[in-house]
Chain A
Amino acid sequence: MKNKPLVQVKNLKKSFGDNLVLDGISFSLNTGENKVIIGPSGTGKSTVLNCINRLIMPDSGEIWLEDKEIVTAENINKIRQEIGYVFQGFGLFHHLTAKKNVMLGLRKVKKISKNEAEDIARFELNRVGLTDVDDSYPAQLSGGQKQRVAIARALAMQPKLMLFDEPTSALDPELIGEVLNVMKKLAEEGMTMLVVTHEMGFARSVSDEIIFMEGGKIVEQNHPEVMFKGPENERTRQFLFKLDDLYGKGGE
């Protein structure tokens, strides 16, 4: 099953002005795998996700989704349809109801009929545990509901890969759980996911591998149990130690 990786990132580099944000990032992700990127803020974690969807153009390096190269792709819109993206700030379309938000990509990008798109939207909203928000506008939803609509919107496109960019960082503490539960469920269903997060509990219990990034480089990638019990790298240990102070032990 895990013969050829779904995603391969090779020696990715990006700077903004004089600031080198990504300094040779390489990793791969198999179908059904679930990896979490952790690290101090400002170390380029989100930039990696942005590059995979080419929302930011890397300076050099390669990104492969199966047999398609993303950085040099002619039609990026085609590839983006295969990658779901969940933003820290939700990114819901303010002028559309929850259901219409989910339907928009189906109707306008995939050109699916209205009825079919509506069925898919209902199904996906249901899947993330939202049953009675179809006609609510984003402004009428809680943060947790907004983020779940955003996840449903990404799922509706039937992506091969889901990218989560700090999906719970903009949420009130009591709303974080509902979003994490949805993500956990997706992982169990076999969705391939790459998640940037500070939620160590989620990282430890759900991910197949944790990638620790600092200063634009991958310092260590390892199985979560190894990472939390005895990280090989001194910097990783210090970072996780500090996180313990901030967020408590990374266990359940």
Chain B
Amino acid sequence: MDGRVELIINSIPALLRGTIITIQLTVLILIFGLILGLILAFGETYGNKLIQKLTALYGKVIRSIPELVLLLLVFYGLPNLGFRIRPFNAAVLGLGIRASAYMAQIFRGTFKAVSSDQITAAYSIGMGKYMTFIYVIFPQAIRSFIPPFANEYAIILKDTSLAYAIGVAELLRQGQYIIAVEYDPLTIFLMIAAIYFILTFGVTRLLKLVEFKLKVPGIGAESR
């Protein structure tokens, strides 16, 4: 029993290093997914026929391929085309591409949630485009954005564990390193699960709180 406590304490630094990598991956994938997803959603909502078709096809294809396969395609594919890529970057790119397709869906839903008569109404009282966005569109959009975003955040965080498969030293792989030496897999895996749980549950609860604070009757979308 004593040995186990010691093991737990001794493993904390290595697991924290893995946790930091996991968080870095999550944040970068989120940023990548948000930016590309926003562009795609704009294309699909406001673009011409061809752009609409292409962005829709992109989404459909990406959402149909397992994230693990996407990750491996990027990891093995880019060197094939002559680009050298580090596993960490391959993970951001591969999982980021997946995230962008889902983020685009979320943004599309958000755009839809703000009806066009809201914009007309804002113009009718003399607001410009900029003011309309700040005071009318954004406050409504953010409320229907948060619930699906919280959901997507949790998925992205958990899916960073797939980077394990291409050798990124994220939380799960750090754990494997310890297990290889100490051979007490249950303790280590339970610690890892607890860290993931805190990161997902904690942050989604926080976002729920924000959602609740911002809540206005009649606005809000169900999360998937």
A and B in contact, CB less than 8 Å: no
Interface residues, chain B, with chain A CB atoms under 8 Å away: none
User: Which residues of A approach B to under 8 Å, CB–CB?
Assistant: none
